[in-house]
Chains A and B, each alone.
Chain A
Amino acid sequence: MNASPSLVTVNPTTASASVPAQLVAALLLGLVMLYAVGFSEASVAHNAAHDVRHATGRPCH
């Protein structure tokens, strides 16, 4: 009915349990993106990101 009970509905236990999982999920997504830009073997990806690979010091050729 009013705003204050909604604060109680947040369960600290479940909320805190899922926080690390969500952080790890984001971290893994970041790793996949960095792999795609920096290491992907596909020649299209290689040529599109060529200058960035050189500029960020990643092995390119």
Chain B
Amino acid sequence: MLFRRLFLCALFVGLLTGLFDSAVQRWQVVPLILAAEVFEEAATPPKAEHAHADGVAHSHGPQAWAPQDGLERTAYTVLANVLNAIGSALLLMPLLAFWNRQRAGQPLALHKGYGASVRYGLLWGAAGWVCLFALPALGQPPELPGMQAAALQARQVWWTLTVACGAGGLAMLCLVQAKWRVLGLGLLALPFVIGAPQHAGSPFAGMEADVALQMQQLVARFVVATAVASALQWLLLGTLSALAVARWLSPLLNPVAPATRLEGTAS
């Protein structure tokens, strides 16, 4: 059954990508988060409600559980990365599969070798990075702990809108007939016409001037580090997803295509 096999492929691809992503984050991203948390704890935020992962009350509730710093926190981060990658694979693979099927299985056909799959996988992975990281980051750059920002829900709504418009806009630009392409550009621009929710005042309010300056430098590095880390994650995810679709899913996708693999090595 297609769904079952697709799910197993997503688990496999997500596990590999999530572990890889955790390693990449450990190198540049996590140290910056930890450094920002030192400043966050030292500062006295206006409402003292943003400290977390250190046992101090969080805005969601005074007794909120949080993983202990160190191994436990790393373990939960790895777990969240794996789940995040599985979820991303479950988005990317059905789209790749559908796209491949609409083209009669040609782009990801394996009889010409793995080259085409890798190439299209990188392209689709790049598209995933643009939609789920780059476009939202243009309006709402990745934040470090301790930064003040606009209301959470407004930012989540804008993030979701931007991702949806980005996916729809890219699909129109790249996948449909020429006359609809202008609409794709409009869709890509729509979230920025509306505008991301803005926070009135400094994101470093409540911090000493020199701490705010250091936070500013951390944020600049953080934006680059997260962009690189998530790009690597999406490129790997796209490549592995395309290979999985070509190798394991395409036999189930194209029942009218040459029937030689139809009853193949179904797992």
Interface residues of A (CB under 8 A from B): 3, 6-7, 10, 12, 15-16, 18-20, 22-27, 29-34, 36-39, 41-44, 46-52, 54-61
Per-residue interface assignment for chain B, residues 3 to 23, with 1 indicating a CB less than 8 Å from any chain A CB and 0 otherwise = 100110010000000000000
A23, B133: Cβ atoms closer than 8 Å: no
Chain B: minimal CB distance from A38 (Å): 7
> Contacts A6-B263, A34-B84, A47-B66 given: A55-B30 contact, CB under 8 Å?
yes
18 further A-B pairs in the complex, CB-CB below 8 A; given A47-B52, A59-B140: A7-B263, A12-B255, A26-B3, A31-B87, A33-B83, A33-B86, A34-B84, A43-B61, A47-B64, A47-B67, A48-B79, A49-B83, A50-B53, A56-B84, A56-B226, A57-B226, A59-B152, A61-B145
Chain A: minimal CB distance from B196 (Å): 10
> Contacts A47-B58, A51-B33, A54-B144 given: A29-B7 contact, CB under 8 Å?
yes
A33, B90: Cβ atoms closer than 8 Å: yes
Which chain A positions have C-beta within 8 A of B64?
43-44, 46-47
Interface hits, B233-267 → A, CB 8 Å: 252-253, 255-256, 259, 262-263
**A57: which of B50, B61, B98, B136 is its contact (CB, 8 Å)?**
B136
